Amino acid sequence: KKPVMNDFLIPFVEELKKLQKEGIKWKDIKHGKDSVKTTKVFTLTCSSDAPARCARQNFKQFNGKFGCGFCEQEGLRVAKGKGHCRIYPFNGQVAAKRTFENCVRNAEEALATDKSVKGVKGTSVLMNLYPNFNMSSGSLDSLRAKDIRRLDIRIRDLKLPHEATRKLRTTKGISFWKASEWRIFLLTSPVLLKNILNHIVYKHWLLFVHGITLLLGTNISRDDIAKAEDCLKRFVSGVKDIYGIEEQSYNIHLLLHLSATVKAWGPLWANSCFVFEDALGKLKTLHHGTKAVPMQITSAYTSKSLLGVLVSKQEIRNHQILKFIEEMQAKHAVTKKVTNINVCMLYGKTTYRNLLRTEEKAILKLLGD
């Protein structure tokens, strides 16, 4: 069961307020043993998925009226399949942006009337972090069978640079793709989908790819942001003509706010949940039991962090020892090699050789032949 966000976040918000006011005291050993500094921490933005964003803002969910946490567009409820869905039609103009002051007024009115106002259900404990943190802003995270086969062949033949730490799986496993695989697909899709999608659909897709690629740059100019905004507006506008009005979903609507997010907080990669998910994965490797897990993680992380400092204080001249320490501290990015054989997925480097007669007999015996 999901917790009540306003109760769940109280200790977190109180700690953030304390960090803003008092900060963290730490010893700067580079400037002497008695050198103590204070670092204050300010919360500026928050990355979260759609359900979590609605919950922390105390807004209606994204599939309800005024479900967008960035603007005041009401949306329309239309039929889709056997049910209904909420869409956000785009007529060329982005709806009025939500402001902190309007959110507070709407929240107070919602509490007084016991009815949501423009999607705001009530106050949020995160309002206490204003003006450093504005809860109304933040950061965002059909083909024929013959065409699918062509696409899978291209995916299997895809050669990725060493920076890619995951190999893209074929469309058979698309429902299990990780976020990193979708990112690889996005950046390589102009090559993968060329001459598979029809010309109109392909050109429309390129608008999305070009817009997102510009916003993922390491050096983004105002012209880049303007071009990305234009591409994404044209992409959102074209969705209804190619895929149908029922596909103008909340996620499609959010593309209209990406450029403003990048303008305020920097490139998309700088405000992504990837880094936190990666850090959580590393923290899980730092404990080896079920008791006192926080202490295990803290101890292991501290030891690992202090290794570099301790080594720098020692006059180690042995080349092999230095090489071993460097390997311990190095970050190894290993690309997973996967070979698909019917319904089996084999991991690791593949080698081909003829079986020995004894091996053939053992396999036949195992298979019962």
Strand pairing category for 76-80 and 83-87: antiparallel
Does residue 217 lie within any of the structural domains? yes
The pLDDT value given to residue 138: 61
| Beta partners for residue 348, in sequence order | none
Residue 278 lies in a domain: no
| Structural element, H or E, at residue 226 | helix 222-243
Q: Enumerate helices (H) and strands (E) in the chain, giving the number of each.
A: 14, 6
Which parts of the chain have pLDDT scores under 70? 137-146, 330-337, 342-343, 369
Same-domain check for residues 172 and 118: no
**14 and 128 belong to one structural domain:** yes
Query: What integer best gives the mean pLDDT of the chain?
Result: 85
Q: Single out the residue in 136, 162, 178 at which a domain terminates.
A: 136
| Residues 123 and 174 grouped into a single domain | no
Residues 127 and 175 in one domain: no
Q: Which of 105, 136, 167 is the last residue of a domain?
A: 136
Residue 222 structural domain: 148-270
Half-sphere exposure at residue 302, Cβ-oriented, CA atoms within 13 angstroms = 6
pLDDT reported for residue 253: 92
Answer yes or no: are the C-beta atoms of 255 and 70 closer than 8 Å.
Answer: no
Same domain, 250 and 129: no
Report the pLDDT value the prediction gives residue 47, as an integer from 0 to 100: 79
169 and 132 within one domain: no
| Residue 32 domain-assigned (yes or no) | yes
Residue with tokens 């009005």: 245
Asked whether residue 214 falls in the same domain as residue 264, the answer is: yes
| b/e map 153-171, b = 16+ CB within 10 Å | ebbeeeeeeeebebebbbe
Residue 111 has what pLDDT?
92
Residue 287 lies in a domain: no
Whether 167 is covered by a domain: the verdict is yes
Model pLDDT for residues 245-281, shown as the tens digit of each residue: 888 888 899 999 999 999 988 998 888 777 787 788 8
At which residue do the structure tokens 């946490």 appear?
Answer: 69
Instruction: Write out the chain in H/E/C secondary structure.
Output: CCCCHHHHCHHHHHHHHHHHHCCEEEECHHHCCCCEEEECCCCCCCECCHHHHHHHHCECCCCCCCCCCCECCCCEEEEECCEEEEECCCCCCCCCECCHHHHHHHHHHHHHHCCCECCECCCCHHHHHCCCCCCCCCECCCCCHHHHHHHHHHHHCCCCCCCCCCCCCCHHHHHHCCHHHHHHHHHHHHHHCCCCCCHHHHHHHHHHHHHHHHHCCCCCCHHHHHHHHHHHHHHHHHHHHHHCHHHCCHHHHHHHHHHHHHHHHCCHHHHCCHHHHHHHHHHHCCCCCCCCHHHHHHHHHHHHHHHHHHHHHCCCCCHHHHHHHHHHHCCCCCCCCEEEECCEEEECCCCCCCCCHHHHHHHHHHHCC
The pLDDT assigned to 190 comes to: 94
Whether 81 maps to a domain, the answer reads yes
User: Count of domains in the chain?
Assistant: 3
Please, are residues 235 and 188 in contact by the beta-carbon 8 Å criterion? no
Q: 30 and 132 share a domain? A: yes
pLDDT of residue 288: 84
Tell me, yes or no, whether 197 lies in a domain.
yes
Domain-terminating residue out of 218, 240, 270: 270
Contact 317, 146 (CB under 8 A): no
Residues 232 and 347 in one domain: no
